[in-house]
Amino acid sequence: MKTIAFYSLKGGVGKTASAVNIAYLASQAGYSTLLWDLDPQGASSWYLAGADRIKGHKLSALMKGKSPIADFIHASRYENLDFIPSHTSFRNLDVKLDQNDSVNLIKEWLAPLSEETSLVVLDCPPSLSRLSEQVLKADRVFVPVIPTWLSLNSWGSCGPLPRITNSNPRGCALLRHGGSAQESASGTD
Ligand SMILES: Nc1ncnc2c1ncn2[C@@H]1O[C@H](COP(=O)(O)OP(=O)(O)O)[C@@H](O)[C@H]1O
Ligand SMILES: [Mg+2]
């Protein structure tokens, strides 16, 4: 099981569009894929739920170890593609993460799915927080960058985080609007 994250400090750069489309393409290529909508705005849940109204669950039961992660997963209308819908309580995730010292909580929560899931795609909220620190521990972190100064600045601000968190993500900038993909200085392969 590989975990990839679409992350940026900046909103409106294409995290959700990338996450949903990559998850869809992976699922249609035969990979059992799970998209986790970590953004309380719930845009990717909306894309995947379609006309169905799906109510996400508070994560507190998962965090307390009372409910397995499987209880949070919904099937999408696409084969091989499941998702964990967002919930407004996700806005408190940072506070919860702050109360936990575990090294890689998201990885721990996802571990029971490793047999049946090939790819986990994290659609992240635009923040620099405890949640981002967790997310930056994914196997790959993709940072969509559009050609504006604010977007480029937010790419720059992703750099110090791996050193702060002592993790080793392989960051990739996705340049939108005709640019080519470029790997960051922290990328290894
Ligand atoms: N590659 C792209 N080219 C043009 N427009 C895009 C592209 N990716 C996303 N968009 C549009 O940009 C807007 C913001 O995208 P979104 O994925 O919601 O950003 P984020 O998740 O970073 O806030 C949306 O209207 C989306 O349709
Ligand atoms: Mg989004």
Q: Is the pLDDT of residue 173 over 50?
A: yes
Average pLDDT, rounded, for the chain: 81
Atom of ligand 1 nearest to the CA of 39: 21
Region 19-43: what's the mean pLDDT?
96
Token representation of residue 88 = 């407004």
**Percentage of residues in the chain with pLDDT exceeding 70?**
81
pTM as predicted: 0.85
173 located within any domain:
yes
Q: What is the pLDDT of residues 7-20, one digit of tens each?
A: 988 899 999 999 99
Region 92-115: what's the mean pLDDT?
80
pLDDT-based confidence at residue 175 (cuts at 50, 70, 90): low
Q: Which domain holds residue 62?
A: 2-183
pLDDT of amino acid 189: 33
Closest residue by Cα to atom 7, ligand 1, is 14
73 located within any domain:
yes
Our mutation pick for probing the ligand 1 site, out of 16, 35, 155, counting the most ligand atoms within 8 A of Cβ, is 16
> How many other C-beta atoms lie within 10 A of the C-beta of residue 44?
27
145 located within any domain:
yes
Q: What lines the ligand 1 site, CB under 6 Å?
A: 11-17, 43, 176
Amino acid identity for residue 117 in this structure? T
Residue 170 and residue 181: Cα distance in Å, rounded?
Answer: 13
Distance from Cα 146 to the centre of ligand 1, integer Å:
10
Query: Pairing relation of β-strands 2-6 and 119-123?
Result: parallel
188 located within any domain:
no
65 located within any domain:
yes
> CB–CB of 141/3 below 8 Å?
no
Ligand nearest to the Cα of 42, by number: 2
Region 88-99: what's the mean pLDDT?
74
Domain CATH number, residue 29: 3.40.50.300
